[in-house]
Amino acid sequence: MGFLDRLFHKKEELLHALDLSIFKVDMHSHLIPGIDDGAKTMDHTIAMLAKFESLGYQKVITTPHIMSDYYRNTPEIILGGLADVRNEISKLNLNIQIEAAAEYYFDDALMQKLMNKEPLLTFGDNYVLFEFSFHSKPDQIEKLFFELLTQGYKPVLAHFERYAYFHGSVELAKEWREKGILIQLNFNSIFGHYGPEVKRQAERLIDSGEIDFAATDCHRIDHLLILEGNATKSYLHKLSRLNLKNNQLI
């Protein structure tokens, strides 16, 4: 580390390992086997659910991708996969609960669903999880928000901190929350898993308190091991003290 790095980067304070059971419910993951870029097999699914349970989670709401160009999942595919997972965890006597919704990619297909009044997969109090492109800011964001809100959904924007075109400010998160759009943060963003710029944006969101849900976005067990291995980090502790809505999903 050079002189300037030493000057402008102080060492992060480490605290006692946070008891992750404080979060109770994870509402963003990819655990149904073989239908998106998450769990590949039922064995992978069960290993991740067992790890969630060992970390103290009471419930997982898994959210497979619905993305017209890549993952053409339907409610029938997702709920059928959920039934298979529930059957397996019952046989193995796991105590963790599992439910399913979806992570909708904002594309023309999602807008068409909304224009046709097709019901979306929701969780909790009519929450709908959606994501943007990582590569370019989408058009018609306000139209998407209008349709979701007027149809009675409570929209949750996945991993706000990962969109590079929003980096450097949390003003949009604040503005959108005032309109009724909820903000979800990935735990592993705090630890630099997605790079230093994402980490800094995550810290801005935590410092400002502009977060409604925190989640693992778990695709593989490594994501849970990273969370477990960073339970001493100060920003995870700070996140745990925010008024998150995870606990309302029990």
pLDDT per residue as tens digits for the range 18-39: 999 999 999 999 999 999 999 9
Report the pLDDT averaged over residues 41-69. Answer: 97
Across the range 126-135, mean pLDDT stands at 98
Q: What b/e readout covers 93-112, taking b as 16+ CB neighbours within 10 angstroms?
A: ebebbbbbbbbbbbeeebee
The predicted pLDDT at position 11 comes to 59
The answer to whether 27 and 207 are in contact (CB under 8 A) is no
Average confidence (pLDDT) over 63-92: 97
Tokens at 47, concatenated: 């290993």
pLDDT at res. 12: 62
pTM for the full predicted model: 0.94
Helices 171-179, 196-208: axis angle to 10 degrees equals 50
Could you read off the pLDDT of 155-170 as tens digits, one per residue? 999 999 999 999 999 9
18-249 belongs to which CATH class?
Answer: alpha beta
- Asked if the model's pLDDT at residue 2 lies above 80, the reply is no
- pLDDT, average across residues 212-226: 98
Cα dist. 62→58, 98, 112, 169 in Å?
A: 13, 7, 24, 29
In this structure, of 14-18, 26-30, 180-184, the range with the lowest mean pLDDT score is: 14-18
Contact, 212 vs 218, CB < 8 A? no
| Residue 48 to residue 51: CA distance in whole angstroms | 5
Domain ranges, ordered by start, for the chain = 18-249
Q: How confident is the model at residue 8 (pLDDT cuts 50, 70, 90)?
A: very low
What is the pLDDT confidence band of residue 7, given thresholds at 50, 70 and 90?
very low
Please state, rounded to an integer, the average pLDDT across all residues of the chain: 95
pLDDT at 14: 76
Q: What is the dihedral of CA 197, 200, 205, 207, to 10 degrees?
A: -170
Give pLDDT, residue 41: 98
- Average pLDDT for residues 100-126, to the nearest whole number? 98
Q: Is the pLDDT of residue 143 over 50?
A: yes
pLDDT score of 69: 86
Residue 3 has pLDDT above 50, yes or no: no
Helix (H, G, I), strand (E, B) or coil at 237: helix
* Percent of residues, the chain, with pLDDT higher than 70: 95
pLDDT surpasses 90 at 73 = yes
* Residue 174, φ and ψ in degrees, nearest 5: -65, -45
